[in-house]
A and B are shown apart, each in its own frame.
Chain A
Amino acid sequence: MDRSKRNQASKTERRGGSMDGKAGAPLSEWVIGVVAALLVLGMVGYILYEALSATESTPELAISVSDVEEIAGRYTVRFRAINTGDAAAAAVQVEGHLGFGGETVETSEVTLDYVPAHSEREGALLFTRDPAGYELELEPRGYQMP
């Protein structure tokens, strides 16, 4: 309230008085302007740093199992797909196997829409057998460039 009144007052002065807009702008406007400039410059700096430091541009995918839970008669294996590369991957295929003595007894797969660069996405695979009694293996099978 107070500030808007002051702005109002300084504007009236400006309108009635001198024509130089430089001296007319109140200090608060300059402070806000400088803060905004720092914010934008910081963002530009970060992106520039990323642009200069990015070397290879391929996704690097890894799958890590978060937890296993029995829901409605099926075993839900939640996982995180982690992309440590500098490029986003689209249509990421994740396949899971339940193995027993070197033989695969059950497979399940899902496709994630996107896994962006230096980011992670969550998903889940469903199995009919309890993964606790088998060797559970999750791996990325392929992706598209977006």
Chain B
Amino acid sequence: MGKLVEALARGFGGALIFGLPMLMTMEMWWLGFSIDRLRLALLLALHIPLLVLLSRHSGFERTYRWRDDMRDAAVAYLIGALAGGVILAVFGIIKAGMPLDEIIGKIAIQAVPGSIGALLGRSQLGGGKSKASQKSQGANYASELFLMAVGALFLGLNVAPTEEMVLISYKMTQWHALALIVLSILLMHAFVYAVEFKGEEQLPPGTPWWSALLRFTVVGYAIAILVSLYVLWTFGRTEGLGTAQVLMVVVVLGFPAALGAAAARLIL
């Protein structure tokens, strides 16, 4: 019982630490009522398998069965929603008298980053002893890519709702965008090597640089780009934009997403 309370407290701590930047972003509140309901529903539905898989890698407790992962994912989702609801209520952003539709929308959208934080809370705020052994057993290429996607989604979600994303893309020329792509890939590759120096199994000594570049960095960047596109589409940021302009915003959001993807392999 004491362990459960401790795990739940860590979950709330994680939800707050990871979720606060988004709880304090006004575009996230507006998205609560402006977001296309079908796209919100799709995001919330896709988030369930994501949490279950993430629970495999780091969760409230060492898990062996999918049933446990599903339970942990459900608890994390609930904690994310509760933490978001409480904080938004304290901020006066949701109050009695608002349409239920708006309140639910505002909380639901915050539950996504909050629940990832709740799951990671355990591994980040101590108590992750069982994680190390668990990870090396389960670490394979597919799970590497999955973790990169989660990292990209997480950092992408942090900045995607802000107006600055589109504003930066208007300030940049195509040449700036090309430079940003090169910079994103270079930084990601540096992270890949940083991981290698930590003794990651995926890159045994003697692996040529182009092998790691193609199999991890470029794949990671492609994942970051696709996740960015998905998040922008979900938030309605691609509405009415021409293809060239969509690509520009995707490259801008792809930068933090790429760093998130690369860093995820260190953190998660």
Contact = CB atoms under 8 A, between A and B. Distances in A.
A and B are interacting partners: yes
A29 B251 CA distance: 24
A80 to B, nearest CB: 8
Interface in A32-63: 32-37, 39-40, 43-44, 46-48, 50-51, 54, 57
B174 A20 contact: no
Interface string A90-130: 10000000000000000000000110111111100000000
12 contacts: A4-B140, A7-B141, A21-B205, A21-B206, A36-B214, A36-B218, A43-B250, A47-B174, A47-B247, A48-B174, A118-B244, A119-B241
B219 interface: yes
A90 B168 CA distance: 12
CB-based closest 7 A-B pairs: A21-B207, A51-B174, A118-B242, A36-B222, A88-B170, A33-B214, A146-B170
Contacts of B208: 21-22
B211 A22 contact: yes
B240 A40 contact: no
Q: Number of contact residues on B: which range applies? A: 35 or more
A113 B181 CA distance: 27
Contact of A119 (B163, B205, B240): B240
A39 B225 contact: yes
B173 interface: yes
A141 interface: no
Contacts of B64: none
Interface of A: 3-4, 7-8, 11, 14-15, 19-22, 24-26, 28-30, 32-37, 39-40, 43-44, 46-48, 50-51, 54, 57, 88, 90, 113-114, 116-122, 146
B189 to A, nearest CB: 13
B215 interface: yes
A51 B215 CA distance: 29
Contacts of B247: 43, 46-47
Contacts of B221: 36, 40
Contact of B174 (A29, A54, A88): A54
Contact of A20 (B201, B206, B245): B206
A15 B244 contact: no
Contacts of B167: 114, 146
B2 interface: no
Contacts, number: 123
A64 B206 CA distance: 62
Contacts of A21: 203-208, 211
A63 to B, nearest CB: 14
A6 B141 CA distance: 10
B54 to A, nearest CB: 16
B197 interface: no
A8 B171 CA distance: 46
B204 A15 contact: yes
B245 A118 contact: yes
A7 B181 contact: no
A45 B200 CA distance: 33
Given A4-B142, A11-B140, A40 B205 contact: no
Nearest to A5: B140
B9 interface: no
Contacts of B173: 51, 54, 57
A32 to B, nearest CB: 6
A4 B139 CA distance: 9
B177 interface: yes
Given A14-B204, A47-B177, 9 more contacts: A20-B206, A21-B206, A21-B208, A37-B214, A43-B225, A47-B174, A47-B181, A47-B248, A114-B166
Interface in B70-119: none
